[in-house]
Structure 1
Amino acid sequence: MNWNYLILILAATLAGGIIPMTVKRVHANFSIYLLAFTGAFLFGVTIMHLLPEVFHELGHAAGIYIALGFFLQVFLQQLSHGMEHGHTHIPGDHHRHIAILPLLLGLSIHAFMEGIPLGFQYEDKSALPSLMLGVAAHKIPEGLTLMTVMLHAHKKKAYLWRILVTFALVTPLAALLAGWMGNRFEVIQHYLLYLVALVVGTFLHISTTIFYESGTRHHELSGRKALAIASGLVLAFLTLIFE
């Protein structure tokens, strides 16, 4: 396990969460283009690295687990209300109550699942560093969205920091747990691959949802959003040089 990668993911989550805590007003376009870029990057990494790996190892069974993961994410977003792909669902003046516990539960389960593939040993040597970058990029808008919602729940600053730090630790700890168990128990390493396939399904759901739901009016594809998506895909393609 490369500790530098885990520190990068931790730092990216904290950085995303600090933005709404320190900047009084974040421009709406910043979140839109950041989501589009990171969503495309995650999509590219999933298509170019993770999908070939799981189909090579599991054959046709990989498709079953990927589909299960896709619809597992559909269930999880009923709890998180789509925070993992940028939806804030901040209530208006007529309704200030925010159900924090379901949001944190859904997002934390998703964050834990993100960490599991990071502890797997891949045949494709470029898969792990590429995946680390993809998850780290995705963590920035994740942290930003989480803390935006927490701020509108009118919680104290100390409570916000505890939530942010705890959430930032979930994915690295999941990666450490998966890596530790996989290295010590061969059967665990085998079954981790099925969990990776599940997570591939969740990544496909999140990244493709970002493409058509990341904040633009009527979900149109503007020129700048298309550029952000193209940039993310190009960067994902460049990760192939890691091999």
Structure 2
Amino acid sequence: MNWTYLILILVATITGGVIPMTVRRVSENFSIYLLAFTGAFLFGVVIMHLLPEVYHELGHQAGVYIVLGFFLQVFLQQLSHGMEHGHTHIPGEHHHHIAVTPLLLGLSIHAFMEGLPLGFHYEDQSALPSLMVGIAAHKIPEALTLMTVMIHANKPKASLWRILMGFALVTPFAAILAGWLGERFVVVQHYLLYVVALVVGAFLHISTTIFYESGTKHHELSKKKVLAIAIGLLLAFLTLIFE
């Protein structure tokens, strides 16, 4: 387990959450382009590293679990209301009516799922560092959106910090748990591969939703958003040089 990468994910999550807590008004365009960039980078990492890995190990079974993961994410976003891909759904007036518990539950389950593949040992040596950087990048807009919603739910400052720190620890904890169990039980390492396939499906749902929906009107893609997506994909492509 590379602790440096886990610290990177922890710091990225806290950084994203601190932005709306310290900046009076976060530009909507900033969130849109940040989401587009990080979503594209994560999409590229999944396509170039994780998909080949799971298909090589699982064969056609991989497709079944990827589809299951895709629709598992569809279910989870019924709880989180799509905060994974930038949706805030903040009420216009009665902010205190925001149902905080389902949001936190859905997003925390998603964050836990994100961490489990980080405890898997990949044949592709560049897969794990690329995935960790992709998740860390994705955590910034994810935590930013979460804390924006919590602020509009009129949570006191102390509660905001507890929520942020608790959320920031979920993914590293899942990675440590998966790695620890995988090192001690061969069967756990084997079944982690199926979990990776599930998470691939979830990532595909999130990233493609970011491309075509989040922050756009009538599903339009602005030139700047296309540029952000292109840069994210280019950086994901560059991770192949580390193979």
State the TM bucket, normalised to the shorter chain.
over 0.9
- State the distance in 2 between where 1:131 and 1:66 align: 17
User: In the alignment, does 2:17 pair up with 1:25?
Assistant: no
Residues 95/15 of structure 1: CA separation in 2 closer, same or farther (3 Å cut)? closer
Whether the 8 Å CA contact 1:49–1:124 is kept in 2: the answer is yes
- State the distance in 2 between where 1:94 and 1:198 align: 37
TM-aligned CA deviation for residue 97 of structure 1: 0.6
Per-residue CA shift, 1:143-181, capped at 9, x if unaligned?
000000000010110000000000000000000000000
CA RMSD of aligned residues (A): 0.8
Letter in 1 for 2:12: A
- State the distance in 1 between where 2:163 and 2:94 align: 26
Matched length: 243
* Structure 2 unaligned regions, length at least 5: none
Match of 1:87 in 2: 87
Whether the 8 Å CA contact 2:96–2:154 is kept in 1: the answer is no
Match of 2:228 in 1: 228
Match of 2:204 in 1: 204
Match of 1:117 in 2: 117
TM-aligned CA deviation for residue 215 of structure 1: 0.7
The correspondence of residues 1-243 of structure 1 with structure 2, limited to 5 A, is: 1-93=1-93, 96-243=96-243
TM-aligned CA deviation for residue 96 of structure 1: 4.3
Per-residue CA shift, 1:181-220, capped at 9, x if unaligned?
0011001100000000000000000000000112122221
Secondary structure of 1:216 counterpart: coil
Task: State the TM-score, normalized to the length of structure 2.
Answer: 0.99
- State the distance in 2 between where 1:241 and 1:3 align: 23
- State the distance in 1 between where 2:183 and 2:130 align: 21
Task: State the TM-score, normalized to the length of structure 1.
Answer: 0.99
Secondary structure of 2:44 counterpart: helix
Letter in 2 for 1:78: Q
Whether the 8 Å CA contact 1:129–1:242 is kept in 2: the answer is no
Letter in 2 for 1:88: T
* Structure 1 unaligned regions, length at least 5: none
Letter in 2 for 1:180: W
Secondary structure of 1:87 counterpart: coil
TM-aligned CA deviation for residue 39 of structure 1: 0.4
Secondary structure of 1:44 counterpart: helix
Letter in 1 for 2:162: R
- State the distance in 2 between where 1:94 and 1:69 align: 34
Letter in 2 for 1:109: I
- State the distance in 2 between where 1:217 and 1:119 align: 38
